[in-house]
Amino acid sequence: MTDRPFDPGLQPERTLLSWRRTCLALAVASLVSVRFAAEVLGIAALAFGVIGMVMAIAAYIAAGHRYRRAHRALSRDGELPTDGSALLLMLGALVTVGAACAVYVVGIAASRL
């Protein structure tokens, strides 16, 4: 494997950095949701936060693996491999955070009745 970037515009590197920023933002959102929802949801808030955090970390790692695989393939034969594992993990983390928000809103509404 060569250390020289395949693309002079560094598109694969920019994509990796974008995925990493998104994963870090999702991890922070998972932790912040625990802080705000703990009073209403109790232990469920912690469960949602941990699940979101684990999925964000897994997506971060998967994005790094995808970049290395893409770099090797582009340097070797010029074709980009396709893989949706990072996207699937990110989707799972987003659904988890969304479910936590929905449960939180229902919990707030129920406590005011």
**Residue 47 — φ and ψ, nearest 5°?**
-65, -45
Q: Is the model's pTM score more than 0.75?
A: no
pLDDT digits (tens, 9 = 90+) for 93-104: 788 888 888 888
Indicate the residue type of 86.
A
Rounded Cα gap, residues 91 and 63, in angstroms: 13
| Statement: residue 69 has pLDDT above 60 | yes
| Statement: residue 80 has pLDDT above 70 | no
Contact 59, 93 (CB under 8 A): yes
